[in-house]
A = this chain, B = another copy of it.
Amino acid sequence: MIPEIEKHRSIRDYLSKEISSNIIDKIVRAASRASTTGNMQLYSIIATTSEEVKEKLSPCHFNQPMVKQAPLVLTFCADVRRFSMWCEQRGTKPVYDNFAWFINSAIDTLLASQNAALEAEANELGVCYLGTTIYTASKICEVLNLPKGVIPITTLIVGYPKSTPELTSRLPLEAIVHYDTYKDYSPEIIDKIWCEREESEETLALLKANNRSNLAQVFTGDRYKGDDNLAISKSYFDVLKKQGFFNQ
């Protein structure tokens, strides 16, 4: 397997060592080589290194220390603005301010971000994706001055790892692959594909820490609560409309 893919783990603890601009360029160049809809490159990468802007981004990511600790915060944004401006400047009428192009540009953005993540790792760096990006997208738009046609999709923290955790486990392949068509899960298969993780030391420690009797309770009751999920859904969809991706 490609070594960076095989060895990937999320790094949450970073050295203060800076990243050279040469390496930042390599990361961004790798991002730009990813497949993109019609070669339109419907994304922008906001590469934040200044302490001042990282300070403002920090609460958008629930003050996780790595945002200020790591030297580089890459906010990956879907961007139909640049392309639309070019179309208008050439006397044509772009119609990319709608949901289809939110999806197309989000796809472009995420293929680029994964190239960037792997290329960072190929340069001895560690990375961590921040799911908080969609929780606080409205505030991120403000901090990063994102105009209409641009919306944050994900954030990649990049820096030299202070320590390297163990690889995390994954479900067995049979859990995620379906041959030819989707084969729905029976209760027996659900039990089988989760059993190794449920019985792991890691899970037992987690249950103790959260005072829960099974792992699913940690997800639904502690990590990702129903009311929070619905609030985030509404707020991100509002941002999507406000940034001009739902004029339909």
Contacts and interface: CB of A to CB of B under 8 A. Distances in A.
Nearest to A169: B39
A134 to B, nearest CB: 5
Interface residues of A, number: 114
A216 B92 contact: yes
A248 B234 contact: yes
Contact of A47 (B41, B180, B217, B230): B180
Nearest to A175: B82
A226 B182 contact: no
Contacts of A10: 35
A47 B125 CA distance: 33
A99 B103 CA distance: 13
B45 A96 contact: no
B115 A5 contact: yes
Interface stretch (A24-32, A59-67, A158-166): A24-32
Contacts of A248: 230, 233-234, 237
A129 B177 contact: no
A25 to B, nearest CB: 7
A217 to B, nearest CB: 5
Interface string A123-135: 0000011010010
A20 to B, nearest CB: 14
A16 interface: no
A117 B118 CA distance: 13
Q: Which A-B residue pairs are the 4 nearest by beta carbons?
A: A95-B226, A90-B216, A110-B110, A114-B114
